[in-house]
Amino acid sequence: MRSTLLLFAPALVVLAAPHIQDIRNIDWEAELLGTREPLPLSQRDRSEPSIDAIFKSLGKQFFGTAADRNLINNGRNQEILLHNFGQYTPENSGKWDTVERSQGNFNFGDLDFLVDFAQRNNKLVRGHTTVWHSQLPGWVSSINNRATLTSVIQRHVTAEIGRYAGKIIHWDVINEMFSEQGTLRDSVFSRVLGEDFVRISFEAARAADPQAKLYINEYNTVEKGSNYAKTTGMARYVAKWIAAGIPIDGIGAQAHLMAGEGRNVAASLKALCAVAPECALTEVDIVNAGTTDYIQTVKACVDIPNCVGVTVWGVRDSDSWRANNNPLLFNYNYDAKPAYSALVQTLGAMATPAPKSS
């Protein structure tokens, strides 16, 4: 035993002498038991190319995803957020029932967390969402006085958007305000204020952050075709409101697609983007995540000059609101799916200049 120690000790000293402090700092119990913490994210890498980097090479602002504190704190999810995506949209932490569940009592903890994480890692943030009929506290839904509801909207929008002025590039100021017939959805906002709640909301948002791009966001506007009543109705209303001076900068098309609906996106998105200064695909997920559907959907944005970015609504299937439909670009094991690889290949080819003829 003694001779073994004599042989081992010099070898250890010779090999470790230049970094003896590192040797002292090793948790040998954790090493031997296999419980050592994984490498910091900055020291790890993923094998698939970053779709955000490729998308930006095509002149777009971002390829992003939905996130919140619980997903950011998941180490494997965080790896993908950092490596593959350039913009984060809060899935729930910016909604009214989270931010102001009781009147005048604001809770920005989870949204602060996301914005701080994005800023530390040089990522963009889209704000989602200030005025929406769903996930709305009962104290707001029960208001039936015009002056009261106007004041409540103004205070809420001012508090939330103003808090992050200069830190969030886009805001979905109003979310899902249209019916399938292309008219105003029945909600406390439309019942009490009519369509004037659009002006009230957007004017408050512009005053709170003059630099942020202000969006109106909607679903079933690119899924069903360019002649679908909701698509044409939204385009008509937005064009009218912009002409009237309401500060709407962009249209967000959510793109929660069924399988096979990718073929409808290009024409529908083109019709919407034609009436606003800019546009984006904001919540993309597609049943079964077919490669053709994803390519058709994302390429629709690439081909429209004022479409600035694409956001998919989550990282991996099991964290999706449509988990049973496997709609995202990463599977349950955090592996990139064929649709991701196909997008990387297709977009990469578009970004590569054609060889010059001799």
Q: Catalytic amino acids?
A: 176, 283
End-to-end CA distance of the chain: 75
Query: Residue 294 in 3-state DSSP?
Result: helix
Joined together, the tokens standing for residue 8 give: 């081992």
Map residue 251 onto helix, strand or coil: strand
CA distance 190 to 241: 15
The DSSP result for 263-277, as a single string, is GGHHHHHHHHHTTSS
Q: Is 165 left (phi over 0), alpha (psi -120 to 50) or beta?
A: beta
Burial of 95 (0-12, 13-18, 19+ CB in 10 A): buried
Whether the Cβ atoms of residue 288 and residue 326 lie closer than 8 Å to each other: yes
Nearest 10 degrees: Cα torsion 51, 323, 285, 218: -130
Beta strand 170-175 with 213-218: parallel, antiparallel or unpaired? parallel
CB 215 within 8 A of CB 252: yes
Compute CA distances 66 → 78, 310, 344, whole Å.
12, 11, 19
Q: Which of 144, 151, 247 is nearest to 199 (CA)?
A: 247
What distance in Å separates the CA atoms of residue 254 and residue 250, rounded to the nearest whole number?
A: 13
- Rounded CA-CA distance 232/181 in Å is 9
DSSP 93-133: TTSHHHH-SBTTB---HHHHHHHHHHHHTT-EEEEEEEEES
Cα 208 from Cα 345, distance rounded (Å):
41
